[in-house]
Amino acid sequence: MIAKSLINLIKNYLNNYRGLQKECWKTIILNFINSTLIGIFYFLPLYFLNELRFSIVVSGFIISFYSLGTIFGGIIGGKLSDQLSPKFISIGSLLIQGAIYLALFMAKSVAILIILIFFLGISTYGFITSNFLWTLSYCNNKKEKIKSINLIETASNLGLGLAAIIIGIIANFSFRYLLLGASIILLLLSLYLILTYQRRLNFNEKIVSNIPVSDISKIKKLNTLNQLIVFVIINLFFAGIIISQLSSTYSIHLQTLFSDYGYGNFSVIFALNTFLIFLLQTPLANYFSKYNHIIIIGSGVFLLGFGMYMLAFSFSFYLAIMGCILYTLGEILFFSVAQLICYENAPLNKKGFVLGTYRMVYASSRAIGPALGAYVYEYLGNSILWFSCSVIGIFSLFSAIAFKRFVIFRVDTDATSDKWRISSELSN
């Protein structure tokens, strides 16, 4: 009986990874490969310090231009995907990344490295945005789209985790081998995609009939869709602030609380986040996608904030682990649904622009978060920082409830001649 239940559980779990077209899997695997190679970037400061003999200040100054590049990369990649095609932009982004890694292999000038790192940020986020659009262009319904989004998130986290292992082995010989190897892989991958390139209908060229009968209703619907996307983008910024401040405060706080445990033991908490996303991202997000998307957005940011707030009471190592679990659940719920809402409700000829704006706002929050978090932690205290995160989460949850109740309700009661897609999908 137990064996049968276990088999059914495994089957149900594996079903979350079935039902996608072969083309979707190809683009998801492409995202995994690119994420693995992107992981090299996070170890570049060690290369600048140990092999190029730069100071910490100079290394940090060079690296900061990557964040600046990512802010522009998403919007550029999305806009070009609208005008050309997401597949074409993905290939071009990979080609540029390959050329940049080759140039990094040879460059030693600070000025040249700044330029290269800046364009690496642009091409990286350009690829992330266009690859997302490319993948979803093969999906025929919302169920396939949410599966694809979750698998993209899973592949990205798995790739970054694998990168740390690979880099830890190869970097013992020379970091320059990593740069050269990444360049060769990306250039060969680009060449393969160019040789096998086949034009297909861009997602903007597909005929989709969602236009209401009434012109007045059409205007109201478009206005509400714009409000919905703005609502998601605002919550994205706050979620990005909560997540990105961890890079400057989380490890310091854990070391202060659990110094007796040593680095090896409390690093388990960092590994737990990646492991849970890899294990639960797809099945959990697929399951909750059938519920109200607006409430999921608010709940996701709330769990992010509440997971941080638990650090104020983490006198026990197990409470810190519980906080990490809640934080990770919020991350899983928020990002898959947020991206789906932006993609589904963007105008057909501006899906790339909307997703590019999504990436730009997220990159901006990641640039602001570490400095803001470190300032609050240092000058106002860690308790204020964790409390602020919880306030953001509570505000997001209540604003989601209010948005669902008043904005969507107003649209529903104004409509007289049709049932709108926004009503059926977002306010069950």
At 206 the pLDDT is 42
Mean pLDDT of 174-203: 80
Contact 21, 145 (CB under 8 A): no
The owner of tokens 């700044």 is: 114
Classify domain 215-428 at the CATH superfamily level: MFS general substrate transporter like domains (1.20.1250.20)
Tokens of 304: 């992010």
H or E stretch at 29: helix 22-38
* Torsion on CA atoms 204, 206, 210, 216, rounded to nearest 10: 50
- Measured between alpha carbons, how far is 363 from 128 in angstroms, rounded to an integer? 12
Please state the rounded mean pLDDT for residues 86-109. 92
For residues 411 and 203, what is the distance between their CA atoms, to the nearest angstrom? Answer: 27
Q: What is the pLDDT of residue 260?
A: 66
In the block, residue with structure tokens 């050329």: 99
Mean pLDDT of the chain: 81
What does the pLDDT read at residue 261?
A: 61
**Amino acid 313: pLDDT:** 78
Instruction: Give the residue range(s) of CATH 1.20.1250.20 domains in the chain.
Output: 18-198, 215-428
Q: At what angle do helices 175-195 and 86-106 cross, to 10 degrees?
A: 150
In this predicted structure, what is the pLDDT of residue 413?
40
Q: Is the pLDDT of residue 104 over 60?
A: yes
Q: Rounded to whole angstroms, how far apart are CA atoms 181 and 128?
A: 21
Q: How far is CA 326 from the centre of its chain?
A: 18
Question: Does an H or E element contain 269, and which?
Answer: helix 262-288
Instruction: Dump pLDDT digits (tens) for 193-213.
Output: 888 776 554 444 443 333 343
Contact 303, 96 (CB under 8 A): no
Residue 418, pLDDT > 50, answer no
Average pLDDT, integer, range 229-241:
93
Instruction: Between 192 and 3, name the one with better pLDDT.
Output: 192
Q: What is the percent of the chain with per-residue pLDDT over 90, rounded to a whole number?
A: 33
Specify the 3-state DSSP secondary structure of 149: helix
d(Cα 334, Cα 302) in Å, to the nearest integer?
Answer: 10
Output the six-digit token pair for 331: 């991350």
Q: What is the tens place of the pLDDT at every residue in 322-377? A: 888 999 999 999 998 999 999 988 888 889 999 999 999 999 998 898 888 888 88
Q: 296: which 2 tokens?
A: 């999921």
pLDDT at 94: 93
pLDDT category at 139 given cuts 50, 70, 90 is confident
Tell me how many degrees the CA angle 164-240-61 measures, rounded to the nearest 5.
60
Question: If you count them, how many residues does the chain have?
Answer: 428
Residue of 113, 141, 100, 127 whose CA lies nearest to 32: 127
Mean of pLDDT values over 264-278: 71
Q: 18-198 sits in which CATH class?
A: mainly alpha
pLDDT digits (tens, 9 = 90+) for 362-397: 999 988 988 888 888 888 988 899 999 999 999 999
The closest of 428, 227, 341, 297 to 419, measured between CA atoms, is 428
Tokens of 175: 């970091």
Model confidence over 36-89: pLDDT tens digits? 888 777 778 778 887 888 887 888 888 888 888 999 999 999 999 999 889 999
In the prediction, which pLDDT does 45 show? 79
Long-range contacts of 54-59 (CB under 8 A, 24+ apart): 54/110, 58/110
